[in-house]
Structure 1
Amino acid sequence: MEYKIEEMKPSDWDQVLEIYLEGIRTGLATFQTEAPTWEAWDKGHLKSCRLVLKSDDDIAGWVALSPTSSRACYEGVVEASIYINEKYRGKGLGTILLTEVIKQSEDNGIWSIYCAIIRENTKSIEMHKKCGFREIGIREKIAKMPNGIWHDVVIMERRSKVVGIS
């Protein structure tokens, strides 16, 4: 099967939203219990480095970056969100998508990508490690799911070797 990576467009939102909702339903991808509107999502993410991976017109996955602070000294520090459509999981597409957003982030002056992954989401943790992220800590019982279960979060980051190194 052939895949292509494209910039995410507002017209992709319906499929992006469905993939996000799949992630919510897993109970391992996010602590969110409902998805935002396009307007809220758009406002919270960088305008660059929003990518979809497509098979024909079907979106197999998406990735986007969010600023971690409004302070100028942290303008090159972002948080990554990546979600893969459940019918495409286990094919290495997340690694392809994450690798591309890392390249594009560096092209856009980003020097550090951070992520917080629910500890039981071991596949996501391994994918991030494969893409050069390292574990920097664990936040114990940081959030509780609606079912009352508390979860730890693994904090990971990837520091660019080409941006912000002087």
Structure 2
Amino acid sequence: MHIRLAQLGDVQAIAEIYNQGIEDRSSTFETQPRTSMDVQPWVADMSRHPVLVVEVDGAVVAWANLSSYRARSCYVGIADFSIYLHRDVRGRGIGKALLKALLGEAEERGFWKVLSRIFTFNEASLALCQACGFRTVGVYEKHACLEGRWLDCVIVERVFPSNQPGPDDEAAGA
């Protein structure tokens, strides 16, 4: 297993893995498959928000990324994260290694918080987050509708105290 920053040559594999998550209806409200062109902008500019991939035997089998939480400058140190694994490699510890690597990237890049929303029935993702030091903040009830069914989402966060700005820092202001 090799974890690294994604490259433009990985966008097709990233899209295919993401599309499995869309098909499974267990990880995202998205319903339209993604193409490599949809994914390319994520990988083309990773100056602030990295995309990591896991290779096993030369094939990309998982990816994770950070994305912007909100546009306001006071939230510059907060990132949303996503993580997706190919169906064939789930349950083998790859997700934990990948999420830990992504958290390392987040901390190195100065983020003070990483968060996500996870379907309440996605027990594997909830366990993964707990194992990686996330805390449960609460539940968004009826967060969105997926194929006619309203779904709740657990809000999880991981804070990096070493990166939190002081009260006089510009990023800390509202």
Q: Deviations over 1:6-39 (max 9, x none)?
A: 1101110111111001001111110000134445
Per the alignment, residue 14 of structure 1 pairs with 12
CA distance in 2 between partners of 1:150 and 1:18 (Å) = 26
DSSP-derived class of the 1:162 partner: helix
Give the deviation of 1:162 after TM superposition. Answer: 2.2
Gap change, CA 1:42 and 1:162, over 3 Å in 2: farther
> 1:156 aligns to what?
156
Identity %: 31
Tell me which of 32, 35, 47 is aligned to 1:34.
32
1:127-138 aligned within 5 A: 127-138=128-139
Distance 2:150 2:17 in 1: 24
Residue-by-residue CA offset, 1:110-164 (whole Å, 9 max, x unaligned):
1100100011101101101110111101011111112x12111001100013211
Corresponding residue for residue 23 of structure 1: 21
Aligned pairs, number: 163
Per the TM alignment, residue 62 of structure 1 is displaced from its structure 2 partner at its CA by 0.4
Q: Which runs of 5+ in 2 are unaligned?
A: 167-174
The code of the aligned residue for 1:163 comes to N
How far apart, CA to CA, are the structure 2 residues paired with 1:135 and 1:42?
32
d(CA) in 2 for partners of 1:38 and 1:21? 11
1:49 offset after TM fit, Å?
Answer: 2.3
Gaps (5+ residues) in structure 1? Answer: none
Give me the TM-score of the superposition, normalised by structure 1. Answer: 0.91
CA distance in 2, matches of 1:94, 1:135: 19
Instruction: Kindly report structure 1 stretches of 4+ aligned residues shifted beyond 2 Å.
Output: 35-46
Structure 2 partner of 1:52: 53
